[in-house]
């Protein structure tokens, strides 16, 4: 957990698309995958971009809730991975798990247990959770809160000087 967060890292749609594409490029260099499991909700957007780039058509979801706004609550699994996708994994298919970020690693730990042999990929990673991720693109410090484009709106920004003109 990292509340209060000292730093903020706002990410635009352009930047998120670019970083998700960079993740797809890195994954393409690692091997091929038969199916993606997106961790909803945050993992849905990068999973769609990676699925498009790597031409993966089987996309499953697992819904995990760990935070209320910026406060970590207990982990809740709201939707399990479907039986056909678990069967694929048991029969040796290569499964790619995608999330937007790993912070403390609690979410990653829970989903990894569901799919022990899967490859775990995120766009962003913080130090506490980094070891639980096989592939990520950008690391930010533990006291940084990442603001995703779907949580942002265009708004007035005060001048750096603090003045009004
Ligand atoms: O490494 P952790 O400390 O577990 O934090 C990372 C998780 O937290 C966020 O999800 P959140 O629970 O906020 O739900 P959401 O994806 O629906 O926004 C984020 O999308 C990751 O899934
Ligand atoms: N949006 C967002 N959700 C999170 N969940 C855990 N850490 C973060 C973060 O830095 N940003
Ligand atoms: Mg999430």
The answer to whether position 163 is within a domain reads no
pTM of the model: 0.94
Cβ–ligand 1 distance for 138 under 6 Å, the answer: no
Nearest to 95 by CA among 3, 162, 141, 31: 31
CATH of residue 122 = 3.40.50.2020
First to last CA, the chain: 38
The answer to whether position 98 is within a domain reads yes
Using the atom order of ligand 1, give the atom closest to the CA of residue 106: 4
Q: Look at residue 38 in the predicted model and tell me its pLDDT.
A: 98
Per-residue pLDDT of the chain (165 residues; tens, 9 = 90+): 445 678 999 999 999 999 999 999 999 999 999 999 999 999 999 999 999 999 999 999 999 998 887 888 889 999 999 999 999 999 999 999 999 999 999 999 999 999 999 999 999 999 999 999 999 999 999 999 999 999 999 999 899 898 665
The answer to whether position 114 is within a domain reads yes
Residue nearest atom 5 in ligand 1 by C-alpha distance: 103
Cβ–ligand 1 distance for 100 under 6 Å, the answer: yes
Using the atom order of ligand 2, give the atom closest to the CA of residue 5: 10
Contact by Cβ (8 Å): 75, 110: yes
The residue segments making up the domain with residue 27 are 7-151
Q: Is the ipTM of this complex over 0.90?
A: yes
Q: Look at residue 157 in the predicted model and tell me its pLDDT.
A: 87
The answer to whether position 160 is within a domain reads no
The answer to whether position 162 is within a domain reads no
Quickly list DSSP for 52-85: HHHT---EEEEEEEEEETTEEEEEEEEEPPPHHH
Q: Look at residue 1 in the predicted model and tell me its pLDDT.
A: 46
Q: Look at residue 164 in the predicted model and tell me its pLDDT.
A: 61
Question: Rounded distance, CA 48 to CA 72, Å?
Answer: 26
The answer to whether position 165 is within a domain reads no
The answer to whether position 26 is within a domain reads yes
- How many domains are contained in the chain? 1
Catalytic center residues: 99-100, 103
Cβ–ligand 1 distance for 106 under 6 Å, the answer: yes
Question: Rounded distance, CA 136 to CA 146, Å?
Answer: 15
The answer to whether position 164 is within a domain reads no
Classify each residue of 104-117 as buried b or exposed e, where b means 16 or more C-beta atoms within 10 Å of its C-beta. Answer: bbbbbebbbebbee
């Amino acid at each position: 957990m990292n509340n209060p967060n000292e730093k903020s890292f706002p990410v635009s749609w352009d930047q998120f698309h670019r970083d998700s594409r960079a993740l797809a490029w890195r994954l393409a260099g690692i091997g091929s995958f038969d199916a993606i499991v997106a961790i909803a909700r945050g993992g849905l957007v990068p999973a769609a971009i990676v699925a498009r780039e790597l031409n993966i058509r089987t996309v499953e979801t697992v819904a995990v809730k760990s935070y209320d706004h910026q406060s970590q609550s207990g982990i809740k699994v709201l939707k399990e991975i479907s039986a056909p996708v678990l069967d694929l994994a048991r029969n040796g298919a290569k499964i790619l798990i995608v999330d937007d970020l790993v912070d403390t690693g609690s979410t990653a730990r829970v989903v990894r247990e569901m799919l022990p042999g899967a490859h775990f990929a995120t766009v962003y990673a913080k130090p506490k959770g980094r070891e639980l991720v096989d592939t990520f693109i950008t690391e930010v410090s533990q006291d940084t809160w990442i603001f995703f484009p779907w949580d942002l709106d265009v708004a007035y920004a005060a001048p750096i000087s603090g003045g009004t003109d």
